[in-house]
Amino acid sequence: MIKFSTFFTLWMGALALGFAYQQADLTIHMWVAVIIGAFWTWGLLQFKKQIPRIGMVLLSLLSIIGLFNELPFGWMLAGALNALLSYDLSNFYQRLRFASETEDIKLLKRVHFTRLSIITLLGLSLSTSVILWQAEFSLEWAIFLALSGIWGISLLVGWVRREA
Amino acid sequence: MRRNAPLILILYGILFIALVSMNGEMLALAIPLALYMLAGLYFAPQEIDLKIERELSAERITPKQEVIVEIEITNLGSNLEELFLEDQISPALKIIKGETGFFCTLKKGESISWCYTLTGPRGSFLFKGIKAIASDHFNIAQKEKMIETEGQIFIIPSFTRIKNIKIRPRQTRAYAGNIPARIGGPGVEFYGLREYQPGDSLRWVNWRASARHPQALYSNEYEQERVADVGIILDGREAVNMGESGNSLYEHSVIAAAALSDAFIASGNRVGLLLYGQTLRWTFPGYGHIQRERIMQSLARAEIGDSSVFTDLMRIPSQLFPINSQLVLISPLKNDDYGTLVHLRARGYQVMVISPNPVSYERANLPDNANTRLASRIISMERRMFMLKLQRAGVQALDWDIREPLDKLVKAHLGRPPAWRNPIK
């Protein structure tokens, strides 16, 4: 189930981006999305630890480039979100390899899927509502976000220091 | 942190681009990723407080045997959503069944156990501890802790038991054994005649000699058999053990040392072991099963060394061995070693050399052509001459072609005492 979901979300993301680029006559970009999907699939089959990270970064970059090229937001969000899901499921699948036979794997999977589904739905609904709301992205919003970002970074630095 | 770097990079990258380009869609793209990371941080694990116990099915095995390692973990702290445990074992050990890594979820107070089977080459292996990594379900926030657990495996060399090695050191110890002691008394082998003493058994009376001397009775005297001191020296010098092709004769020397130690201890002798290589490692002489175990553990740790101090055998500390005792050197030998061996012999030690043959060993790894054959013949002749020279100097030298089993060679050549008694006066 996890394996299937990993491959499914990975190709959903790659094909969503590919389709959007193909619609915009950006054939090279489309092929890049497909190649990334194939590369990621190969990495998963070979149990390469770093491939999901690289694949996720590359697909997210393709989504950003797509938005710059004024491609439909829905397809780009689908690409980035599926890349994130596939990244998470790939890592989870690799960790599950070490689970013992006595471990309740079904429960572990259920909890993981539930949490992931909630985050996905929440993320999708928030993103969609932001787009539907169509609020003007003014300078005030930018300053608020910048301050939030700085606060986030400072929290992150504090956390890293504590970890060290 | 490094594991989450791509996620953080993308998140802040998107936010930065969104702010710079004042693009709301770009900002919306970052929302799922931000939620994903926030959820991970929200469910971050607390401190790891685990009690771990490791149990080994055996602590002393031979290279082909297997050990089952069973680890029991009890969570004394808070609930851990995802826990990954990794037993830190030496890379030389080989996992036969199971994994050294273990993934589970562990509630407060819950216990869980896992096991794996391993084997490995000769050596002494200490288990360093278990690395515990607790994380949330998205593996965003991690807590790591190294938990020390006790455990050690000795993989001792496997050998075929050797029986009946005849040695004849000049001096023996006080206890009864099976080495002729050069002293008259109760025994089996005839030693000499002496005048009858009250208490002598009538069976000891030499009637033929007594008949010649009507005034006196004579008794037979037998050679006492006692235990002796045996010092085994294992030569671990890289220069003599390593071949050109990177192969080493050392494992064979270790097996020989184990077999000989076992045989001498089984005969009741007091045996000590000196490992001569990177450093000097001395196992003090002793008797019995405990001493055998000490020697086997020392042999399990034995390693080749390339110390410039011990390039020749001149540094053998002969004062460690009791005077006039039996020394057994296990070494492929080089020509420079002749002087040291003669010197030891001159000091009164009975010296025996078991020398794994490096020529035949190297020859097996070289292509079979005219040049190799000729070179092999020349070096073999040189070696034969060297061994003869040692034997003429009173050193009991045995050339061991490692393709032959050692027990067969020992039975053929060491099953009877050496023909000479005091070759060096």
Which has the minimum average pLDDT: A79-83, A152-156, B191-195, B385-389?
A152-156
pLDDT at B425: 37
Give yes or no: residues B103 and B187 share one domain: no
Task: Select from A56, A98, A112 the Cβ nearest to the Cβ of B99.
Answer: A98
- Chain A contact for B368 (CB, 8 A cutoff): no
Cβ distance of B104 and A103 shorter than 8 Å: yes
Give the one of A63, A88, A98 whose C-beta lies nearest to B103's C-beta.
A98
Do B68 and B148 have their domain in common? yes
Pair B277, B350 in one domain: yes
Q: Cα–Cα distance between B355 and A59 in angstroms, integer?
A: 66
Which CATH number does the domain housing residue B380 bear?
Answer: 3.40.50.410
Q: Is B407 found in the same domain as B323?
A: yes
B128 with B271, same domain: the answer is no
- The DSSP 8-state label assigned to residue B305 in this structure reads B
Q: Do B27 and A145 touch (CB under 8 A)?
A: yes
Q: Indicate which CATH number applies to the domain containing B148.
A: 2.60.40.10
B361 and B244, same structural domain? yes
Q: Cα–Cα distances in Å, from B122 out to B60, B67, B95, B118, B155?
A: 11, 14, 15, 13, 5
Degrees, nearest 5: CA angle B60-B64-B70 = 55
B332 neighbors B253 (Cβ within 8 angstroms): yes
**What angle (nearest 5°) sits at the alpha carbon of residue B287, between those of residues B225 and B175?**
30
Q: Which of A142-156, B165-179, B203-217 has the lowest mean pLDDT?
A: A142-156
- Looking at beta carbons, which residues of chain A come within 8 Å of B6? 53-54, 56-57
Q: Per the domain annotation, does B422 fall within a domain?
A: no
B178: burial class by Cβ within 10 Å (0-12, 13-18, 19+)? Answer: middle
Share of chain B above pLDDT 90, in %: 34
> Residues 6 or more apart from B181 whose CB is under 8 A from it?
B172, B223, B224, B225, B226
Range of the domain at B101: 50-155
Q: Hey, are the CB atoms on B32 and A112 less than 8 Å from each other?
A: no
Phi-psi region of B199 (alpha: psi -120 to 50; beta: other; left: phi over 0): left
**Do B291 and B186 have their domain in common?**
no
- CA B54 to chain A, closest CA, distance in angstroms equals 17
- Contacting residues of A for B139, CB less than 8 Å apart: 91-92, 95
> Is B191 a member of any domain?
yes
For B49-62, how does the pLDDT look when each residue is reduced to its tens digit (9 = 90+)?
A: 889 999 999 999 99
B212 and B90 share one domain: no
Contacts of residue B287, Cβ cutoff 8 Å, sequence gap at least 6: B227, B265, B268, B269, B270, B271
Domain identity same for B116 and B245 = no
B298-336 per-position pLDDT tens digit: 999 998 888 877 777 778 888 888 888 899 999 999 888
Q: How many residues does chain B have?
A: 425
Asked if B15 lies within 8 A of A112 by C-beta distance, the reply is: no
- Tens digits of per-residue pLDDT, B250-292? 999 999 999 999 999 998 899 999 998 878 889 999 999 999 9
DSSP per residue, chain A: -HHHHHHHHHHHHHHHHHHHHHHTT-HHHHHHHHHHHHHHHHHHHTT-SSHHHHHHHHHHHHHHHHHHTT--HHHHHHHHHHHHHHHHHHHHHHHHTTB-TTS-HHHHHHHHHHHHHHHHHHHHHHHHHHHHHT----HHHHHHHHHHHHHHHHHHHHHHHHH-
The domain tally of chain B equals: 4
Q: Which of B8, B36, B139 sits opposite A91 (nearest CB)?
A: B139
Q: Is there a domain that residue B173 lies in?
A: no
Closest chain B C-alpha to A158 CA, distance in angstroms? 12
Determine the Cα–Cα distance for residues A30 and A40; give it in Å rounded to an integer.
16
List the single residue in A68, A84, A107 with the smallest CB-CB distance to B32.
Answer: A84
CA-nearest residue to A143 within chain B is B19
One domain, residues B238 and B89:
no
CB contact under 8 A, B33 and A84: yes
Report the pLDDT value the prediction gives residue B56, as an integer from 0 to 100: 93
Q: What is the pLDDT of residues A24-82, one digit of tens each?
A: 888 898 999 999 999 999 988 888 888 888 988 999 999 999 988 888 888 888 888 88
pLDDT, one tens digit per residue, over A73-125 is: 888 888 888 899 899 988 888 888 888 776 777 888 888 888 888 888 888 78
Task: Report the alpha-carbon distance of residue B3 to residue B271 in Å, rounded.
Answer: 56
Is B28 in contact with A100 (Cβ distance < 8 A)? no
CA–CA gap between residue B319 and residue B105 (Å, rounded)? 61
Paired tokens of B76? 């004394």
Q: Is residue B177 in a domain?
A: no
**Identity of the residue numbered B278:** Q
End-to-end CA distance of chain A: 37
Hey, what's the torsion of the CAs at B325, B330, B333, B336, to 10 degrees? -30
Which residues, other chains included, contact B28 with Cβ-Cβ below 8 Å and sequence gap of 6+?
A73, A77, A126, A127, A130, A131
DSSP annotation of B107 reads -
Q: Which residues in chain B are closer than 8 Å to A96, comparing Cβ atoms?
A: 103
Q: How far is A102 from chain B (nearest CA, A)?
A: 9
C-alpha span between B103 and B88 (Å, rounded) = 15
Residue type, A11: W
- For chain A positions 15-74, those within 8 Å of chain B (CB to CB) are 53-54, 56-57, 60, 63-64, 67-68, 73
Shared-domain flag, residues B209 and B253? no
- Residue to mutate among A103, A116, A128, with most B CBs inside 10 A, is A103
Identify the bridge partners of residue B400 per DSSP, sorted by sequence position: B356
With respect to residue B135, please indicate whether it lies within any of the assigned structural domains: yes
CB < 8 Å from B in window 105-164 of A: 107-108, 111-112, 115-116, 119-120, 122-124, 126-127, 130-131, 134-135, 137, 139, 142, 145-146, 149, 153, 156, 159-160, 163
B144 in Cβ contact with A139 (< 8 Å): no
Is residue B75 a part of any domain in this protein? Answer: yes
What is the dihedral sign for C-alpha A142, A143, A144, A149?
positive
Residue B174, domain member (yes or no)? no
Please give the Cα distance from B157 to B153 (Å, whole number).
13
Task: Note whether B84 contacts A95, CB cutoff 8 Å.
Answer: yes
B239 and B196 assigned to the same domain: no
